[in-house]
Amino acid sequence: AMFNRVLGQGTASRLFSDVRETLNLTYNINSSVAPAKGVGVFAIRTQSQKVSEMVNAIFKHIDRAVNEDPTEKEFDIAKSGMAQSFPLEIEVAGQIAGKVDTQITYGLAPDYWKTYRDQVLAVQRTDLRPVAKKNIHQVPV
């Protein structure tokens, strides 16, 4: 999740700041991760009239994610965003039920959500690249 924040979640992400702001190839671009017990889904969503340039820019950032650690600034924004937004994810009964469902589905420890923010804050910048490398399987183009 933290890797995804660096790559494509929010206006401070690599995809948004480069592909939208610098290259002007799209109005909006984002990435998301939908975990699953088997193979989860990682998706990048956008639209552009300049498809070739867009695809090249996206693959450049995927390559960077797999081969380079995020900068300190990218990491700090992602980490603090995850830690600070967590209380907003458990405000209503439906959100809490969703967290319980996730805990049961994935067999998470009984104190997983109680210690979640501490776990997020314990992540180190150099922890993200190995996760990206393990979970993103690049197809040569």
* Number of Cα atoms under 13 Å in the Cβ half of residue 117: 11
**Where in 78-121 does DSSP place strands (E)?**
none
DSSP 86: G
pLDDT for res 127 = 96
d(C-alpha 41, C-alpha 110), whole Å:
26
- At 121, phi and psi to the nearest 5? -70, -20
pLDDT for res 6 = 95
pLDDT for res 139 = 59
- 7-to-12, 46, 71, 113, 139 alpha-carbon distances in Å: 9, 14, 11, 24, 18
pLDDT for res 136 = 84
pLDDT for res 37 = 80
Instruction: Please report, in tens digits, the pLDDT of each residue of the chain (141 residues total).
Output: 899 999 999 999 999 999 999 999 999 999 998 888 877 888 999 998 999 999 999 999 999 999 999 999 999 999 999 999 999 999 999 999 999 999 999 999 999 999 999 999 999 999 999 998 888 876 555
pLDDT for res 140 = 55
d(C-alpha 41, C-alpha 126), whole Å:
23
